[in-house]
Structure 1
C-alpha cells in the first residue's frame, strides 16, 4: 500500500470507541514480537501537560547518550509525528514498514478470534514495533486516554511512572470528579515502581498516594513551590529549582506558557529519580541544554509573527493559557473552536473573564465532533460585549484574523485539531508563496 492509502486506512479506524481489554493488547504485542521486553520504559499520564513531560524526558535521556523511542498523541499535521526515534519523527518509508508488520499481526489476531485494534491501539502497536526494530534503549510512552485501561498500560515493567496535572476532561469516559479521574490516571502505577506526580487538588493527590501505597510504590509529590519563574522574555521562560540538588542552575524553555515549568520540573525529577545519587554540574548542564533546545509544537507556539497557537482544550488548560498571555491579553484577538464533547461554555466563560481581547473569532473545524461556529458565537455573546465574528470555514477565519491583526497579537485555542489545521494552513500558504 502507498503511504496515503495507509493513512486513510488508519484514519478510518474509529478513534473514540470501546477499548479492547488488556489481554487483547497483550496478545497483539506478542504477535508483534513482544517489543516492550528488555527496554527501559517511562510511562506518563495526566490530563494536561503529559505530552510536554514526555518530550522533556526524551530530550534529556537522548542528551545523556541513550537511544530513545517516544510515542505521543495526537498528531497535529502528520500521523508520523506520533512515533519518534532518537528525536526524529519516522519517515514515510519507516511508517509503511511499521504498518505492514502491524497488519500482519492484526490478521493473525483476527484469525484467533480477537477484534481489530482501535485507532490508538493500532498506532501504539506500530510505535512499539518501530522501537524494537530501531533497538532503542529507552521508551517514553504517553497514555492516550486515562491510564488504567489504556493500551500503553500493558507494559507491565516500567522503570518509572509519572502523572502530570489532573483536571476534568473526557468526563464521559473517565468520570465526573477529580477523584474518579485521578483513579484512572493512577492505574499506571506498578508494584514497587517509583511514581512521581505534579501537585494538584487535595482530592486527586490523595487518590494517587493511596494507590501508590497499596502497591508499595515509592511515591513523591512534586510541589507547586518546587520551582520559581524568574522571567519571561524574548519568547522564553526562565526558572530556578528550589532544591539544592540542582545547585544554582537557571533553566530556560523555548515557550512562554507559565504552565510549562511545572511539566519540566516533573521531567527533571524523573531524571533525578533515575540518576539516583547526586549528579555533578556537568550532568545538570546536559539536562539544562537539552531542555532549552526543546521546541514543543502547538503549545504557545508562534507560527507567524505575533500569531500563536495553543492546544488548550479543557478548562484547566484555558486557565493556564490565560495566565500565560502577556498584559492580560490587551491588544489581542482570540480565534477559537472546540469539539462537542468538551465543556466549551465553561472554557469560553473562563476565557472572556481572564483575557481582555479586543475581538473574538469563532470557527468550525473539519471533524465529526465539531461544534458549529454559530453555536460557539452565541455562547461568546453571553460572556463578552466585545465583537464576536462568526466564520464557518477555518480558512476564512484564518484569513480574517490575519486581515484585522494589525499590530495586535492573535491567539488560537480551544482544540488541538484547530492547532493542527492552522499549522497546515500556514505551511500550505508558505509553500504556495515559493511556488
Structure 2
C-alpha cells in the first residue's frame, strides 16, 4: 500500500466513532499474538501535560542509550508523528506493512462475528506491533482519552504509571466532576506497579491514592505544592510518598527555564528546559520523579548527566512553540480551560506590556466561554478563526461568543486567511499567537512553514 492508501484504510474505521472499553482491543490483540505483552511500558495519563511528560521521558531514555518507542496523539501535521522510535518517526513503509498485518486480523475477527475496532484501536494496535518489531527496550505510552477504557490500557504490567493532571475535559465520556474524571484516569493503575501523580485537586488526588492502595501500588506525589505526607501504601497507610522538595525556579525566558529541586532525595541543581512555561516545570518534576523511581528500583540505569541533557533536548511541537522572532509568532495547543489558563499566564509573564495579537479557534464541544475569559486576560487583540475539524466552532460563531462575553473580536476566517492577516499585521504587534485547538495549530504550522519555505 502507498502512504495515502494506508491512511485511507485506517480512516475508514472513523465511522465507528469513539468508544471506550477494552473488549474490542483485547480480541484484536489476541488475534495479533499480544505483542503488547512483550513490551516494557511507561503508561501516562492526564488531562494536560501528558504529552510533554512523555516527551521528557522519551528524550532522557534515548540520551541514556536505550531503544525507545513513543506513542502519542493526536498529530499536528503528519500522521506518522503518532509513533516514534529511537528519534525517528515511523517510516511510511513500516506504517504500511504494520497496518496491513493489523487489517488482516481485523478482517478475521469481523468474519468470526466480533465487533469492529474503532479507528483509535486500530492505530494503537499498529503502534504495539511496530514497537514489538523494532525490539525496543522501553515504550513511553500516552493515553488517548481517559484511562480505564482507553485502548492503550490493554497494557497489563507497566513498569510505572503516571497521571499528570486532572481538569475538566471530555466530560461526556469521563464524568462531570474532577473525582469522576480522576476515577477514569486512575484506571491505568495496575497491581504492584508504582504510580506517580501530579494532580493539584485534593479530592481528585485522594481518589487516585485510594485506587493505588487497592492495587497495592506505591503512590508518589510529584506536586511540589502538596502537603508533606510521608507514608507507604504497602504498609497499609492511607497517605503517599511526597517525591518533590525544595523547588527553586532560578531563571525564566522564552529561550529556556532553569530550576533546581530535590527529587526522591536526589539533588538536581541545574535543570534546564527548552519547553517554555511554568507548567513545564511541573511536567518536568513529574518526569524526573518517574525517572528517579525507575533508577532507585534498579529497573534501568540512568546517569544524572544524561538525564539533564535529555530534559534540555526535549521539545514538544505545538506547545508554546516559537515559529519566528521579531515579532514573536507562537502556536500553542491549549484546548481546554486549564491549557488556556496556562497559556494566558505564560503570555502575561513573558510579554507584559507588549502588544499581542491572539488568534483563537476551538472545537464546539469544549468549554468555550471559560477559554474566552482566559484568553482575554492577556489583554490581546482577539481574532476568531477555526480548526481544521468537523467539530469546529465556526469563526463567526466564536466571534459572537467573544462579543457576548464583553470583549472585542474580529473574524479571521479559515486558517489560511488568519495566517495572511497575521503576516499583514506583523509590524503592528510584538507577539502573534495562535491557540485554542491542536487541530488549529497543526494547520497553522503547516501553512506558516510552507509559506516561509516558498518565500512568501
Q: TM-score, normalization: structure 1? A: 0.94
Aligned partner (choices 329, 332, 345) of residue 323 of structure 1 = 345
Q: Is structure 2 residue 428 aligned with structure 1 residue 404?
A: no
Asked whether the 8 Å contact 1:328–1:356 carries over to 2, the reply is: no
Asked whether the 8 Å contact 2:264–2:289 carries over to 1, the reply is: no
3-state SS of paired residue (1:43): strand
Asked whether the 8 Å contact 1:63–1:287 carries over to 2, the reply is: yes
Asked whether the 8 Å contact 1:20–1:117 carries over to 2, the reply is: no
1:311 matched residue in structure 2:
333
Query: Equivalent residues in 2 for 1:32-431 (5 A)?
Result: 32-225=32-225, 226=244, 227-243=247-263, 245-276=265-296, 283-305=303-325, 306-325=328-347, 326-328=350-352, 330-352=354-376, 354-357=377-380, 359-386=381-408, 388-406=409-427, 407-431=429-453
Give the Å deviation of 1:15.
7.6
| Alpha-carbon distance in structure 2 between the residues aligned to 1:395 and 1:413 | 15
Unaligned runs of 5+ in 2: 226-243
| Alpha-carbon distance in structure 1 between the residues aligned to 2:294 and 2:208 | 20
| Alpha-carbon distance in structure 2 between the residues aligned to 1:84 and 1:71 | 7
Give the Å deviation of 1:243.
4.2
Asked whether the 8 Å contact 1:44–1:163 carries over to 2, the reply is: yes
Identify if the C-alpha distance between structure 1 residues 228 and 274 changes in structure 2 by more than 3 Å, giving closer, same or farther. Answer: same
The CA RMSD measured in Å over matched residues stands at 2.0
Identify if the C-alpha distance between structure 1 residues 175 and 21 changes in structure 2 by more than 3 Å, giving closer, same or farther. Answer: closer
| Alpha-carbon distance in structure 2 between the residues aligned to 1:396 and 1:351 | 21
Asked whether the 8 Å contact 2:386–2:415 carries over to 1, the reply is: yes
| Alpha-carbon distance in structure 2 between the residues aligned to 1:367 and 1:277 | 44
| Alpha-carbon distance in structure 2 between the residues aligned to 1:41 and 1:328 | 42
Unaligned runs of 5+ in 1: none
| Alpha-carbon distance in structure 2 between the residues aligned to 1:380 and 1:198 | 32
Give the Å deviation of 1:199.
3.2
Identify if the C-alpha distance between structure 1 residues 194 and 340 changes in structure 2 by more than 3 Å, giving closer, same or farther. Answer: same
Tell which deviates more after alignment, 136-145 or 248-257: 248-257
| Alpha-carbon distance in structure 2 between the residues aligned to 1:31 and 1:249 | 49
Q: How many aligned residue pairs are there?
A: 430
Q: TM-score, normalization: structure 2? A: 0.90
Identify if the C-alpha distance between structure 1 residues 375 and 87 changes in structure 2 by more than 3 Å, giving closer, same or farther. Answer: same
Q: Deviations over 1:250-278 (max 9, x none)?
A: 11111222211111111111011111169
